[in-house]
């Protein structure tokens, strides 16, 4: 009798132990894989480039942010080789150098245009991520590998704030080749200043010699932030947008990586972010500046976070007749003089006119070039008469004569301020002799 009782008790006990054990294991699986490394086993070594290879894989990590809209998860903007995705793990460390490892969810953006590598979000969810300072992505979830010299990314956006340093930031996705269109760049930057932009970011792979002087000037002035983007050291970036046509590893020098990076980089720094190319100006027509434009657009619907702006082509092959902007001072400056190109191409029937964007970065989760892929608020197509893009470039409809184009002199409205400002900048950059 006693024996039997003992046996039942033992049976019960072992049964309970199994259940508890299973629960603990399960709990561990959900939470963390290995925990609590001490200071002696980990050395936080910050990544030295904006592009960091993920060890034992073909992928790269770029930068890491707390995403407060996703319960404080860590989002690591990454470049993933799409056909070779293995399980990835996040090692995240608090300032006390206490690290935890969690499994990740990899979200490859949908707009890959067939390229083998593409921008992706590696999402890490776990406890107390908001107090973490550094993170790395690894293919090995086990402890013994941490102490190898691995490079960690600092984690940004730890705190939510609506005390923005800037109201308007322009993200210019990529600068590459020996691009040296100095005059158009200076005119664009000065125009943006007049429109109320306080900050411009450019991702630099390479540039021409004169443009470099101009960029250095704007950087020293505090208006321009140059992010080093040596993508050509790691991959064979494509010069085009479509894999079938242009080949290469990654869409257009990584434009989709840098646009997404720029949005997260400025989430709590800038009220709005403009996403456009180096030769495009997002130009308010109904208002004299971006501040009035956005006040109007947001008062109509405060929930909107993405504003689509139509692109319009001003062919660099058509010059205005008076020649009043053929200035002696600019003869020696390389690049296009946008003041001379006031003829705008008409829209084509059955051809979609691509848009660029002004976004509230806090309402965007993933962006493409012409629209947002995932956003929290609404998206609004801004009417052509309210705001449109002035894009001076090679014509798209080169067969059209001047008479078949529209006269659009919007840039002339700014001549009184724009011209002296451009001249001053060129002088300060050492591109124009200071004869005055
Ligand atoms: C780890 O190092 C940091 C700074 O080096 C120190 O402040 C902290 O107390 C250390 N933690 C442990 C558990 O030793
Ligand atoms: C930024 O926007 C806020 C709110 O719209 C405004 O009060 C402030 O003056 C603006 N700052 C600058 C520098 O334009
Ligand atoms: C852009 O990157 C190239 C290549 O690294 C570098 O030589 C050049 O100085 C950079 N330009 C600026 C303005 O930083
Ligand atoms: C024009 O450019 C050349 C070569 O860069 C330079 O030597 C000359 O001083 C420039 N002239 C003016 C007026 O800036």
The pLDDT, as a whole number, for residue 28 is: 39
Mean pLDDT of 139-160: 80
Give tens-digit pLDDT for 361-418. 999 999 999 999 999 999 999 999 999 999 999 999 999 999 999 999 999 999 999 9
Give me the percent of the chain exceeding a pLDDT of 90.
Answer: 81
**What pTM does this model have?**
0.88
Output b/e per residue, 239-266; b: 16+ Cβ within 10 A: eeeebeeeebbbbbbbbbbbbbbbbbbb
CA of 263 to the centre of ligand 4 (A): 39
- Residue 206 near ligand 3, beta carbon < 6 Å: yes
Mean pLDDT of 219-245: 96
The pLDDT, as a whole number, for residue 95 is: 73
**Cα dist from 211 to 63, 177, 215, 301, 333, whole Å:** 27, 12, 6, 40, 10
Considering every ligand atom shown, identify the ligand nearest to the alpha carbon of residue 95 and give its number: 1
Residue closest by Cα to atom 2 of ligand 2: 167
Structural domain boundaries in the chain: 39-156, 166-428
Give tens-digit pLDDT for 42-90. 667 788 789 999 999 999 999 999 999 999 999 999 999 999 999 999 9
Q: Is residue 6 very low, low, confident or very high in pLDDT (cuts 50, 70, 90)?
A: low
- Residue 167 near ligand 2, beta carbon < 6 Å: yes
CA of 93 to the centre of ligand 3 (A): 33
The pocket around ligand 4, CB under 6 angstroms, is made up of 332, 432-433
CA of 96 to the centre of ligand 1 (A): 5
In this predicted structure, the answer to whether residue 11 has a pLDDT above a threshold of 70 is no
Give tens-digit pLDDT for 302-357. 999 999 999 999 999 999 999 999 999 999 999 999 999 999 999 998 888 899 99
Q: Residue 348 has what DSSP assignment?
A: P
- Residue 175 near ligand 3, beta carbon < 6 Å: no
Residues 6 or more apart whose CB falls under 8 angstroms from that of 245 comprise none
The pLDDT, as a whole number, for residue 45 is: 79
Mean pLDDT of 192-207: 97
CA–CA separation, 361 vs 359, rounded Å? Answer: 6
Give tens-digit pLDDT for 102-128. 999 999 999 999 999 999 999 999 988
CA of 87 to the centre of ligand 3 (A): 35
Beta strands 406-407 and 343-344 are antiparallel
CA of 187 to the centre of ligand 2 (A): 24
CATH for the stretch 39-156: 2.60.40
The pLDDT, as a whole number, for residue 44 is: 76
Out of 212, 215, 258, mutate this one to test ligand 3's pocket (max ligand atoms within 8 Å of CB): namely: 212
On average, the pLDDT of the chain sits at 90
Which atom of ligand 1 lies closest to the CA of 39? 1
CA of 302 to the centre of ligand 2 (A): 17
- For residue 257, the Cα-to-chain-centroid distance in whole angstroms is 6
**CATH architecture for segment(s) 166-428:** Alpha-Beta Complex (3.90)
């Amino acid at each position: 009798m006693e024996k039997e009782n003992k046996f039942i008790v033992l049976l019960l006990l072992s049964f309970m132990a199994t259940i508890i054990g299973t629960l603990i294991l399960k709990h561990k699986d959900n939470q963390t894989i290995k925990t609590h490394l001490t200071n002696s086993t980990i050395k936080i070594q910050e990544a030295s480039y904006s592009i960091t290879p993920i060890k034992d894989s073909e992928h790269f990590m770029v930068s890491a942010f707390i995403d407060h809209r996703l319960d404080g998860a860590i989002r690591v903007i990454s470049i993933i080789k799409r056909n070779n995705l293995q399980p990835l793990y996040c090692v995240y460390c608090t300032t006390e150098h206490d690290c935890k490892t969690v499994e990740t969810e990899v979200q490859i953006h949908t707009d890959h245009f067939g390229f083998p590598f593409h921008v992706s979000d590696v999402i890490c969810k776990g406890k107390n991520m908001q107090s973490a300072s550094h993170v790395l992505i690894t293919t090995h979830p086990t402890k013994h590998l941490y102490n190898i010299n691995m490079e960690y990314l600092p984690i940004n956006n730890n705190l939510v704030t609506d005390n923005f340093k800037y109201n308007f930031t322009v993200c210019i996705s990529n600068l590459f080749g020996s691009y040296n269109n100095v005059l158009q760049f200076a005119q664009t930057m000065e125009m943006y200043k007049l429109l109320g932009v306080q900050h411009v970011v450019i991702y630099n792979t390479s540039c021409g010699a004169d443009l470099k002087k101009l960029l250095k000037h704007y950087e020293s002035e505090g208006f321009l932030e140059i992010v080093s983007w040596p993508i050509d050291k790691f991959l064979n970036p494509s010069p085009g947008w479509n894999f079938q046509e242009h080949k290469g590893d990654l869409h257009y020098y990584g434009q989709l990586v840098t646009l997404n990076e720029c949005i997260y980089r400025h989430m709590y720094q800038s009220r709005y972010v403009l996403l456009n190319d180096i030769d495009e100006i997002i130009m308010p027509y109904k208002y004299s500046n971006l501040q009035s434009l956005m006040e109007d657009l947001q008062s109509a619907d405060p929930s909107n976070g993405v504003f689509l702006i139509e692109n319009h082509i001003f062919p660099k092959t058509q010059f205005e007749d008076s020649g009043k902007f053929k200035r002696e001072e600019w003869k020696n400056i390389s690049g296009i003089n946008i003041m001379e190109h006031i003829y705008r191409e008409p829209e084509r029937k059955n051809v979609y006119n691509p848009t660029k964007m002004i976004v509230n970065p806090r309402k965007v989760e993933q962006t493409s070039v012409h629209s947002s892929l995932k956003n929290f608020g609404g998206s609004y197509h801004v009417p052509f008469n309210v705001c449109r893009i002035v894009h001076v470039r090679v014509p798209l409809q080169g067969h059209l004569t001047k008479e078949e184009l529209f006269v659009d002199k919007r840039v002339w409205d700014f001549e009184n301020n724009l011209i002296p400002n451009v001249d001053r900048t060129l002088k300060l950059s050492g591109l124009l002799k200071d004869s005055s």
